[in-house]
Amino acid sequence: MSRYRGPRLRKCRKLGELPGLTRKISKKAAPPGEQGQTSKKASEYAVRLEEKQKIRFNYGISEKQLLTYIKKAKKAQGSTGSVLLQMLEMRLDNTVFRLGLAPTIPAARQLVNHGHITVNNKILNICSYQCKPGDKIRAKEKIASKKLIETYLSHPGLSNIPKHLELNKNLLSGTINGIIEREWVALQLNELLIVEYYSRK
């Protein structure tokens, strides 16, 4: 399935808060659709599917990409769910968002795709690039790039920057000092249910 480009608040009403997808908050409390008011108990499969959809829509990845991340996480050492979240959090587009250089992940993806971001002084337009400790991310040395990022920095998407990241507002740059810890993941979800969802397929 291709990347979602529909109404974002509709997804937030269905799945809960998705800080990476949008900063807006819906005034409607009920889920979308005619049956939004009914309180039908969800099946185990539906609960796992919802958790999987949360991670997909928040990070803006396709089903195929998520499956690839799951396979990589299973091969890595440690808890599969934690490794999966670490890989998604260390993506370049998400790192730009978490530094406050963009208000949402889609906005960060656009910055990266249009060549406004450099990694270790090289322009990098691959959103899925896995950032590593020691990487330096900054705005390209062009007036248009700097103006755009300065505007975004004045209205950051999240109030707190994770402690594995360090931001220098004057230089419009950020440094990655380590790997993100689970407690700093902004999305509220149960990653174990996502691993279970794919293990049962």
Concatenated DSSP letters for 149-186?
Answer: HHHHHHS-SSS---TTEEEETTTTEEEE-SPPPGGG--
Report pLDDT digits (tens) over 24-57: 555 565 555 555 555 567 788 888 888 888 888 8
Residue 40 is predicted with a pLDDT of: 66
CA distance 146 to 171: 9
Read off the pLDDT of each residue in 90-105 and give the average, rounded to a whole number: 90
Query: Which of 14 and 90 is assigned the larger pLDDT?
Result: 90
Percent of the chain with pLDDT over 90: 32
Residue 1 is predicted with a pLDDT of: 39
Residue 129 is predicted with a pLDDT of: 94
Percent of the chain with pLDDT over 70: 77
pLDDT at 156 over 80: no
The three-state secondary structure class of 41 is coil
Judge residue 129's burial from the number of C-beta atoms within 10 Å of its C-beta, 0-12 exposed, 13-18 middle, 19 or more buried: middle
CA distance 62 to 152: 26
Q: Answer for the pair 138, 126: CB distance below 8 angstroms, yes or no.
A: no
Residue 32 is predicted with a pLDDT of: 56
Residue 173, phi-psi category: left (phi > 0), alpha (psi -120 to 50), beta (remainder): beta
Q: Residue 116 carries which DSSP code?
A: -
Domains and CATH numbers, the chain: 8-87+187-199 (1.10.1050.10), 91-178 (3.10.290.10)
Residue 20 is predicted with a pLDDT of: 61
Least confident range of 14-23, 41-50, 129-138: 14-23
Report pLDDT digits (tens) over 108-120: 999 999 999 999 9
Read off the pLDDT of each residue in 136-159 and give the average, rounded to a whole number: 86
Tokens in use for 183?
């407690």
Tokens in use for 32?
């979308």
Tokens in use for 158?
């999240």
